[in-house]
Amino acid sequence: RQVALASQTEVWNTYGANPLTYQAVIDYINAPANGIGASALLTDPGYISSAESRTIWLQLTPAQFESLFNTPLLTVADGSDVFYAWAGNLSLPESIFGSVRGLWVDQNVSVVTPAVATGVSAYTPPTGDQGIGNGGNAVVSTPAVIADAYNFPLDSSIATPAIALVEPPTQDPAALLAGINAYRAALNLPAMTAEQFQVLPGADPTGWTGFIDETALDISVVASAAPNSTQLLYSFVGQTHFTAYQQAIWDLVNNPGILTSSFPEDAEPTPNSLFYLAYSDLFTDAALRNMSVFLSSGDGGSQTEYGSGSPLLRTSHTVSTAIVVGGTSISTLASAQSDPTLATGVPASDLVTQVMSDTPNLDLLMAMTAAGLTTLPTNMVANSDPTQTDPLLRLFETTWNNYYFSYSKSGKGELSPSYSSNNSSSGGVDTTQGTPSYQTDFGLTPTSIGPTVATGRGAPDVSALASGNAFYYVLSASYLNDPSTGTLTHGDGGTSAATPLWASLTAQFDAVFENQHLPQLGYYNDLLYMAAAIAPGAFNDISLGNNISTYYVATKDTPGAVLDENSGDYVVPTGLGFDAESGYDYTTGLGSPNGLLLARALTAIAHAQIYSDAPAVLGIVDTTHAVSDASQTLLVQSQGMDGSFSLSAGGQSFTAQGGGGDLAWTSRLAQQSLQSDFDPDLVRIFDGVGQATPGSIHVANGAALSATSGTDALALYQAALTSAFGFAAFGARTWWCACARTAPTRPT
């Protein structure tokens, strides 16, 4: 893939528009007889028209619009807002109809709340915090400290590549540069030059007059977590964000390899429409331009604040060629001790007491270790007054969900923070598109819940700290807007912080790749899922929490209605959403990163894909059958299986009992334990638990392979991702029998 993308001329000769076809459409526009004319061609800065991008931007008068689309353009007034619309369908002239694949209108419109889903019913939330591990005394840490908590692989002295950010247009880029340098000075970082911090396409006289916390958050995370990366801020010069993405993707001068955005479109295009195709093609272009794109999953929980009563996602931020980033909450020991969801005071549910005991709950401790715990809890010391530069020592990491439910004195239920506010990691299933192959190969069949059940693209892909019990120490918009009165820094967060953090991590990955003479990562969704399959320690597996936030607007007297403090509306919660669980889930995806272990996994994958000529362990025939790709001896061992299983290999049969303790070492724990900061006491506490007895079998090249448990055929599990790396499994997420190629015997 990287070899093919290296020749960008050849890429766009293949995937760009045919120059003759492109020019024919331009000629049709230019011809005065067609009622449009050259004046319609939009050449303003920020609008990219080219054959390579397959894009022609037009600025049409109502008369020109009607000439092109054979449909009148209507002027619609909504209070003081005036915008354009049309009724019915659009049609293009026959001579250019077959040349047009997509259409985008750069006009923002108010979104009508979707109709309430049929079949949903009222749900009464439990009293108190709606998410576990989000209700304690929060710490505030610099993004660099948070990067250290995620074991980023490089120190701050290493040069890293540029990062592109999608941001609102500004009239005063100089103020933005001055503000970020004031923030960097507070962190003892050198000032950035105007070349290192660019607002593109430049100052916009019609741009926003003030700065928002979103922009301050984005640039602060990158400035601290990737302090040596140039920041390229691309402004959406129109009313939608499309133009900012297009500028970043088609910047042939700076050629950024990493793009981060926390700005989904307010109005989502209809699936399979010309508008939908135009938007999704935009991110296909990013992949073909060898860019790594990170999009925030959103901060509205399972419904992203749409108010339909059923789970929904913002589909402009779930495109399959981008990495979708969800949010978590990190709890230190002190935060956990102050959190009523973790330190409940009830032995059966008090997780802090259960792991601080001399005889800890080992099942819980194993799950916490999978989620990134590196120190035995009883060896921790609570820091009740941390500074923003103190290490962020994780005890728990859970799904970010800050919603809170209580009852007023009158007995009426109230949500505050409420479902209509940005307080939980969004995630679920985008049913407007098919399941990407990287999720299918991982063993996933993302399926929606609620009245309409369908498969689609699961989101998010990955996650990182959003807020909850820990916040990011970042520049404040109040300072940007008035340095004389504004506060320089404050605590902030959301998936809008987790997303540029992942972009910053990827800048380090690209630096590592360059050092090892590997091409930049570019599109690497598939490599992330491959890394999770072959090196699970590369991710902290978050298995506590939920993102439930579905509701619909009602009247005060509607049965089940509660007050939504943010909007002032009465809403009926419907209780639909997703729980964190072991492995991939719809709140945190594959999990948060262990940066060093993920860097090692990604470089190993890249070297193998580019240079290795070793055969895979097996070739997949169908869901339950494979063939051996070499004459080889296979080590066979089960995990999590009850009863016996049998592996059939070319007429031979290997039969064994499952078994092994539930707390036996996993490959994830084995990887984690090799880290220099991993507590030896945490290693020892899991020692002595037996594994299932292994065996071996020799198979010939081309021999048929299958497995059964009792009379049931076992499906291949993640074999498409792991077979090239020496092992493959039959089974499912929590149990399997694995076949691994043994190392060759060296001659004596």
pLDDT tens track for 335-356: 999 999 999 999 999 999 999 9
Residue 667 and residue 536 in contact, taking contact as beta carbons nearer than 8 Å: yes
pLDDT(115) > 50: yes
User: Is the model's pLDDT at 2 over the cut of 80?
Assistant: no
For 299, which DSSP code?
A: S
pLDDT of residue 744: 63
In 3D space, the residue among 494, 492, 495, 465 whose CA is nearest the CA of residue 592 turns out to be 465
Question: Nearest 5°: CA angle at 432, between 426 and 434?
Answer: 100
Provide mean pLDDT across the span 55-75. 95
Q: What interhelical angle do 525-534 and 595-611 show, nearest 10?
A: 100
Structure tokens at 261: 């955005």
* 169/166 Cα distance (integer angstroms): 10
In this structure, are strands 231-235 and 197-200 parallel, antiparallel, or unpaired? parallel
**pLDDT of res. 424:** 98
pLDDT tens-digit map of 497-525: 999 999 999 999 999 999 999 999 999 99
What's residue 3's pLDDT?
67
> What is the percentage of the chain residues whose pLDDT exceeds 90?
85
Tell me, what's the pLDDT at 746?
47
**Of 653, 326, 359, which Cα lies nearest the Cα of 465?**
326
The three-class DSSP label of residue 707 is strand
**Which domains, from first to last, does the chain contain?**
2-97 (no CATH), 128-601 (3.40.50.200), 615-741 (no CATH)
* Beta-sheet strands, E only, within 559-629: 562-564, 570-573, 592-593, 618-620, 626-628
DSSP 308: B
Q: Is the pTM of this model over 0.85?
A: yes
User: Which residues touch 635 (CB under 8 Å, ≥6 apart)?
Assistant: 694, 695, 696, 739, 740, 741, 742
Looking at the predicted structure, is the pLDDT value of residue 47 above 50? yes
pLDDT in tens, 701-728: 999 999 999 889 999 999 999 999 999 9
